[in-house]
Amino acid sequence: MKISTIRTRAVSVPVSQATRMSNRVLADRHYVLVEVTDSDGRTGLGYTYAGTAGGPLTRTAVDELLAPGYLGAEADDIVGLWSRAYQETLLAGRRGAIIRALSALDIALWDLKAQRAGQPLAVLLGGSTNPLPAYASGGYYRDGDGDWTDAVTAEIAFNKSQGFTDHKIKVGGLSIAEDARRVAAATEVINGTGRLALDANNAYRSVAEARAAITAFERAAGETGLWWFEEPLSPEAITGHAELARHTVTPVATGEIHQTRWEFRALLETGAAAIIQADAGVAGGVTEWLRIAHTADSFGVPMAPHWHHNLHTHLCAAIANTLVVEYFAAEKGIYNFETLLTEATRLRYADGHVLVPHRPGLGIDLDESSVARHELPR
């Protein structure tokens, strides 16, 4: 089947209230939606998170740089098209918005392929629809939530009420001492029933500062310990992450901003990450994510992908080295992509697990009225 049309839309979806992490404030999130239709009239959906202002740029990258090379091509030639597109963008750039655009287009083709096969993407890729372990993500800084320790205590309690035993909170947005008190509060309410991971979002400027932070956080967690320490340094600091990993008890996790197999090869070869957090909407789509996951498996490193639980649930079901899926409850208003989906096709969860959809492809449908409300003009 030939690719007959490619439709792109950029949307801006506001979060429920102003939300802060270590290095930025969120008011809204931009997503780019890509729909690929074949000559039989079937359509596959792909998407990526483009940041807080990058939607139009990423949409243009699909329209002007990538779509011309895909239109009229065989829809099943997904890997070949990826390689040609990557080569074609050599002069425009092979990172940032370009690769996010390529990711969305690649995801759409895999969704289309699985729909044509009448299978969930997880099954098409060799996996099953068995439930997968998940953790409750959050712990952002929001001024309206009151005292910092009270806020994190309330959120962990909420996570537990939804059946989650494992949790993640942000650090790096306050002083080390203040964040340590939040870690202690979260550890207390978890009360030995699960694990706590910390996400710094590249907060610390040096290995020494990151070591000081994790030492304080480990002390605050006490004998319970911490699950992982995520993105303590800039993504460019691969050797820095490796050095930190050699001097801390808590495993270092990173990779959510890294792109393509070549960057992940450096992370793995240097021992910079004990847990790889590749995001298929960032790293190069399903095609490249699978390459990264299998390479990580050869190093004995597990995958705990960042964001996009609607997509990563399928991918994690199809690899041998899945650690866990990151899940954001809709009630938190943080991961707001699902406001663009019909309620019936939003991801389900139960007892600390996410449920792999049995519908063909990704198993998601757009709520066109919501998309129309949030679409950015051209």
pLDDT of residue 23: 81
What letter does residue 334 receive in the DSSP assignment? S
Quick check: 154 and 144 in contact, CB under 8 A? no
- Which domains, and CATH codes, for the chain? 3-118 (3.30.390.10), 123-355 (3.20.20.120)
Containing 296, the helix (H) or strand (E) segment is helix 285-298
Q: Which residues of the chain have pLDDT under 50?
A: none
pTM: 0.97
Quick check: 364 and 125 in contact, CB under 8 A? no
pLDDT of residue 144: 81
pLDDT of residue 194: 98
pLDDT of residue 18: 83
pLDDT of residue 135: 98
pLDDT of residue 21: 87
pLDDT of residue 296: 98
Strand ranges inside 155-224, DSSP E: 167-170, 196-199
Q: pLDDT digit string (tens) for 83-118?
A: 999 999 999 998 999 999 999 999 999 999 999 999
Rounded to whole angstroms, the Cα distance separating 25 from 125 reads 37
